Amino acid sequence: MTIPTRDDGVTRLKLILAYDGTDFAGWQRQPRQRTVQAEVEEALGRIVGRPVRVQGAGRTDSGVHALGQCAHVDVPDRLARRVPWRTALNSILPRDVRVVEAGVAPPGFHAQFGAVGKIYAYTLWRDRACVNPLRRRFVWDVPPLDDAAMDAAAAVLVGRHDFNSFRNLGTPVGPRGTVRTLAALWRENDPLPGETVWRARADGFLKQMVRNLVGCLVAVGKGKATPGEVRSILERCDRNHGLPTAPAHGLCLERVFYAEDMPIPEGTRPDPVAALSAVGDVEPRDVGPGPDGVEGATGSGCSCQSNGGAV
């Protein structure tokens, strides 16, 4: 196989990473903090023999987990052909972070700027009398909830909206602003008794957006807010609404999507909404397709999907 290289003597690798975020201060490297980016960069530096910079698709917060974080790194051409990257990195990395896949990236690939969508999963534990000790690091234990009311609120949130009401206060807003397309927001009963998983699929997420959406849904499930009030909060575009933010440890970045992940007709630009809806055309990894063909979704439950809008 011919490995594509660049004119500057380096080859870009694409990495898929999984990590238990419990003991990390998030993805991004920070002074005097243990972060996923720092661990991966240090492992790569030992192999390459010099410092390297790893670019992630997104910056997961402290305590947030990942099954499908994507990143890229540039390595010398001479090593790209010789090193079994997945095996080599996993022999160095700590046990709470693993390289799931590693290979040469497509031409022009950029883990952050090339992403057309992401799926996050948030897991609720519905039996407070007995939280499974093997799951306590990955779930938010909640009281009994009104699923029908939560489903109705989820339907309000799906679509192309200004999600300023659901972002972290004080976080700078980038050039994209606060408008995002939430293509789907659905609930599934996990095979493990007591768990319910909410998945959100969008073209991108604001800081803490998923945790704020889940906190809102749980408030509705408790009867502290109604679907109509959720619509009003969304339309006001004001974060000062008093609904809770779900804790970080229940959240997991499941997958990042790129245009090359799905078939695109020749001579056309990818439509991200259509691309995200066509994930069922992608070869599955660990689990089967969900209610709308989304890889990484299993089981049954409510599925709310957007009917249009550019992602």
Tell me the catalytic residues.
61
CA dist., res. 25 & res. 27, Å (int)? 7
Report long-range pairs for 106-109 (Cβ below 8 Å, ≥24 apart): 106/14, 106/260, 107/4, 109/12, 109/14, 109/72, 109/258, 109/260
- Beta bridge pairs of residue 76: 10
- Here the tokens at position 225 are 């807010």
Closest to 73 (Cα-Cα) out of 96, 49, 40, 117: 40
CA dist., res. 190 & res. 67, Å (int)? 16
How many angstroms separate the Cα of 252 from the Cα of each of 29, 79, 118, 206, 277? 19, 32, 11, 15, 20
